[in-house]
């Protein structure tokens, strides 16, 4: 109902998503600007996010911690490059180490969010763009690595146990 269109552009390494919400623009903006609201949707239910820092000003940072079902944690950080409440936000979303320092060799897509009032509701256009194809592939490889590591680890346990 909310998602109006999704476009994945392999050549430009971009995902563009348009969603229409039946809510005023200020309430949609709040989902981004209020960290307590943001953490209720940013991470999937199995990996909820906790925002420990949330400074939506140009040059500001947000830091979040995601906790998995087995208690495994992972950190991410936003570097805010532009913000204009309640209509636009731009940031890079990066993996971070325990101190919240972005991991330089990991992919960090640039995310652009535009909100506009439309037909009594709010349209959100979100664009996420990778720097390079290598970055995108690295991300998938990481998942593959982790998946294989888990699978092989389980095998090792079964076979030696």
Give the binding site for other proteins (CB under 8 A).
Answer: 1-3, 6, 8-10, 13, 15, 17, 19, 21-23, 27-28, 31, 37, 40-44, 46-47, 49, 66, 68, 74, 76, 93-95, 106-109, 124, 126, 128, 130, 133, 136-137, 139-152, 155-156, 159
Q: Smallest distance, Å, CB 57 to other proteins?
A: 22
Q: Smallest distance, Å, CB 145 to other proteins?
A: 5
Tokens 């609201």 correspond to: 37
CB-CB contact of 25 with 33 (8 Å): no
Taking the least distance from each CB to other proteins, the nearer of 42 and 54 is 42
Q: Smallest distance, Å, CB 70 to other proteins?
A: 11
Taking the least distance from each CB to other proteins, the nearer of 37 and 81 is 37
Under 8 Å CB-to-CB from 38, ≥6 apart: which residues?
31, 32, 49, 51, 54
Q: Smallest distance, Å, CB 83 to other proteins?
A: 18
Taking the least distance from each CB to other proteins, the nearer of 61 and 136 is 136
CA 64/CA 96 separation, integer angstroms: 9
Map residue 17 onto helix, strand or coil: strand
Strands (E), the chain: 3-9, 14-21, 49-54, 61-67, 73-84, 88-96, 110-118, 121-129
């Amino acid at each position: 109902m909310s998602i109006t269109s999704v476009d994945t552009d392999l050549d430009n390494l971009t995902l563009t998503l348009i969603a229409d919400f039946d809510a005023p623009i200020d309430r949609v903006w709040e989902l981004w600007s209020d960290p307590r609201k943001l953490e209720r949707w940013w991470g999937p239910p199995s990996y909820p996010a906790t925002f420990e820092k949330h400074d939506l000003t140009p040059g500001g940072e947000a830091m979040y911690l995601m906790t998995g079902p087995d208690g495994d944690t992972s950190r991410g950080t936003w570097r805010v490059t532009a913000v204009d409440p309640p209509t636009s936000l731009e940031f890079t979303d990066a993996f971070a180490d325990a101190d919240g320092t972005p991991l330089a060799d990991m992919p960090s897509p640039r995310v652009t969010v535009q909100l506009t009032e439309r037909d009594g509701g709010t349209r959100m256009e979100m664009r996420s763009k990778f720097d390079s194809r290598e970055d995108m592939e690295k991300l998938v490889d990481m998942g593959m690595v982790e998946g294989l590591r888990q699978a092989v680890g389980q095998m090792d346990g079964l076979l030696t146990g």
